[in-house]
Amino acid sequence: MTKRLTLGMSVSAAAILALGLAPVAQAAETKGPVTDEIGVVEIPQGAPIVIGGYWTLSGPDTALGLDQKRSVEIAFDEIGNELVGHPIQFIAEDSQCNAEGGQVAATKLASIPDVVAVLGPDCSSSATPGAPILWNAGIVSIGTSTTAPSLTAADRNADYFGFLRTIYSDADAGRFDAKYFYEELQCPTLATIHDGSPYAAQLAKTAADNFRELGGEVVAEEAVAPTDVDMRPVLTGIAAKSPCVLYYPIFVAAAAQITRQTPDIPGLENTKTIGSSALMAPGFLEAAGSAAVDFVFTNVDTTPEAMGEQYPAFVEAYQAKFGELPIQAFHANAYDGAQVLIAAIEKGAVKGDDGTTYIGRQALRDALFATKGHEGISGQMNCDEHGQCAGFKFAVYRFTDGDPATFNIGTNPEKIFP
């Protein structure tokens, strides 16, 4: 993971220099009545307040990003698309759920004058290069389903000090996954497959490490590329180890190939195949077809009972606006991210005598990181000094039908544990 972070930071610096953007200023800046350590956003009366976003808006994992973008739009709708006396200008870029997409999207947003803050991304692969680009331009960003433990680790690089998230860490998800495999399924052996992304690689490793600590044996830790089509060679090698569980916390395209091909591999007939949260999407059903029926994956608990009191009202608003129910697991986390940002801006914005609004960049970052006791629809938000704001509620889901038209969180997939 060190190599990935180093690569991301070097790319960030190159992108910033290519744009002519300076890194975070060392000298304080004063505009109107506000002095801030790294800069001040000045919004004249009548001008829009610009908020950016970047999520996966194309490709097989589109549901992941589209669901979150929609949720942010609902949060803005609730305040009349106006904030501190200014109309909201919301600019969303496609991060493509990969490092290159995250770099490009973050660079575009960092080049827009007076972007106050950025929501997203959804994928840790995009945040790894993207968050430093934004923070080196003085822009704080709020990850909405970026779960890689490294992003909010105590020893993270200073380039990530402007990043926080309203989603859990896979340090918790991997621990719960391992416990489910070992204790609930009573499986003594585990095999894992990741795709090299920060999300998949770190989650698979965390689950494997915790499984060993519980007393289990990890018989294989393999990797595939997100674009691989023929999974038979890696599956055949795993079959020789006869794992009780084959766990692949990867994205839609590669996971669908594994799910379709596993039944054809001798030696895996009694192996339990289990995915993770990125697969809660209609796109997985479309890609896996009938092979998705009875497919099991671990996830955050999205049932109304596990959510905040305002969750049912949110779902109603979502359906009324978009004509369908939420299409992925992390809509609530994105909505909460927007809510936390709105509250911080309202708290920190300063009005000048002429109606101009001033927002200190460091002050906004500090206000976000000071969030405590915010009752979100995904749970309570309590941010620590490393930007970790959300906890984890473990659940296991199962697809009951392979038809994408039947996708409906609660029935297809249905929660089977706890």
User: Tens digit of pLDDT for each residue in 99-110?
Assistant: 999 999 999 999
Which whole-number Å values give the CA distances from 322 to 52, 211, 325, 394, in the listed order?
21, 41, 8, 28
Give residue for tokens 């990867």. 250
The predicted model gives 183-211 an average pLDDT of 98
| Mean pLDDT score across all residues of the chain | 93
pLDDT for the residue numbered 369: 98
Least confident range of 27-31, 58-62, 334-338: 27-31
The predicted model gives 301-329 an average pLDDT of 94
The predicted model gives 120-143 an average pLDDT of 98
Cβ 201 vs Cβ 188: under 8 Å? no
- pLDDT above 90: residue 211: yes
- pLDDT above 80: residue 2: no
Check residue 240 and give left, alpha or beta (phi > 0: left; psi -120 to 50: alpha). Answer: alpha
Confidence of residue 23 (pLDDT cuts 50, 70, 90): very low
What are the structural domains of the chain?
37-167+330-387 (3.40.50.2300), 171-303+395-417 (3.40.50.2300)
Confidence of residue 304 (pLDDT cuts 50, 70, 90): confident
Least confident range of 8-12, 133-137, 173-177: 8-12
Name the helix (H) or strand (E) containing 417: strand 414-417
For 380-412, write each residue's pLDDT tens digit: 999 999 999 999 999 999 999 999 999 999 999
| Gap between the Cα atoms of 409 and 418, Å rounded | 16
The predicted model gives 149-172 an average pLDDT of 97
pLDDT for the residue numbered 293: 98
pLDDT for the residue numbered 11: 36
Helix (H, G, I), strand (E, B), or coil: what is residue 40? strand
For 40-82, write each residue's pLDDT tens digit: 999 999 999 999 999 999 999 999 999 999 999 999 999 999 9
Relative to beta strand 217-223, strand 82-83 is: unpaired
The predicted model gives 315-335 an average pLDDT of 97
Closest CA to 145 of 159, 125, 160, 161: 125
Helix 124-136 to helix 198-214 angle (10° resolution) is 120
| Gap between the Cα atoms of 13 and 94, Å rounded | 20
pLDDT for the residue numbered 24: 53
- What is the dihedral angle through the alpha carbons of 322, 328, 332, 337, rounded to the nearest 10 degrees? -90
The predicted model gives 226-236 an average pLDDT of 97
Least confident range of 8-22, 302-316, 354-368: 8-22
Least confident range of 2-11, 83-92, 378-387: 2-11
| Gap between the Cα atoms of 75 and 189, Å rounded | 44
pLDDT for the residue numbered 305: 87
- What 3 state SS string does 102-157 have? HHHHHHHHHCCCCEEEEECCCCHHHHHHHHHHHHHCCCEEEECCCCCHHHHCCCCC
Confidence of residue 26 (pLDDT cuts 50, 70, 90): low
Phi, psi of 123 (to 5 degrees): -110, 135
- pLDDT above 90: residue 377: yes
